[in-house]
Amino acid sequence: MNKRCLAMVLAGGGGERLKPLTKKLAKPAVLFGGKYRIIDFALSNCINSGIYTVGIVVQYEPLILNSHINSGGIWDMHNGRGQITILPPYMNENGGCWYKGTANAIYQNLEYIDMYNPEYIIILSADQVYKMDYSLMLDEHVKKAADVTIAVTGVDWDEACRFGIMEVEDTGRIVKFEEKPKQPKSNLASMGIYIFNTEFLKKCIIEDENDKNSANDFGKNILPKLMNSGAKLNAYKFDGYWRDVGTVYSFWKAHMDLLEENNKLNLYDPTWKIYCEHIAVPPLYINHTAKVNSSMIGEGCYILGEVTNSVIFPGVFIGRGAHIKDSVIMSNVRVEDNVDINRTIIGSNSWIKAASIEYEESSIEDRIYYIDEGQIIE
Ligand code: ADQ
- Mean pLDDT value across residues 284-308: 97
Nearest CA to ligand 1 atom 11: 125
d(CA 16, CA 284): 34
d(CA 238, CA 240): 6
Same domain, 173 and 311: no
CA-wise closest residue to 84 among 92, 72, 99: 72
Nearest CA to ligand 1 atom 13: 125
d(CA 155, CA 149): 19
pLDDT of residue 1: 40
* Ligand 1 environment, Cβ below 6 A: 10-13, 27-28, 57, 59, 99, 101-102, 105, 125-128, 163-164, 179, 189-192, 218-219, 244, 246
Question: Is the reported ipTM for this assembly greater than 0.95?
Answer: yes
Q: How far is the CA of 217 from the centre of ligand 1 (A)?
A: 8
DSSP secondary structure, 234-291, as one string: EEEE--S-EEE--SHHHHHHHHHHHTSTT-SS-TT-TTS---------PPPEE-TT-E
The answer to whether position 270 is within a domain reads: no
Per residue in 150-193, pLDDT (tens digit) is 999 999 998 899 999 999 999 999 999 999 999 999 999 999 99
Query: With the C-alpha atoms ordered 90, 96, 99, 101, is the resulting torsion angle positive or negative?
Result: negative
The CATH number of residue 351's host domain is 2.160.10.10
User: What residue numbers does the annotated binding site for alpha-D-glucose 1-phosphate cover?
Assistant: 99, 164, 179-180, 190
3 state SS of 110:
helix
The CATH number of residue 59's host domain is 3.90.550.10
- Nearest atom of ligand 1 to the alpha carbon of 126: 14
Q: Is pLDDT above 90 for 361?
A: no
- Nearest atom of ligand 1 to the alpha carbon of 14: 16
The answer to whether position 279 is within a domain reads: no
pLDDT of residue 74: 66
Structural domain containing residue 224: 5-259
Same domain, 150 and 297: no
Same domain, 98 and 203: yes
Q: Is pLDDT above 60 for 2?
A: no
Quick check: 39 and 54 in contact, CB under 8 A? no
Counting Cβ atoms within 10 Å, is residue 99 exposed (0-12), middle (13-18) or buried (19+)? buried
Q: How far is the CA of 193 from the centre of ligand 1 (A)?
A: 10
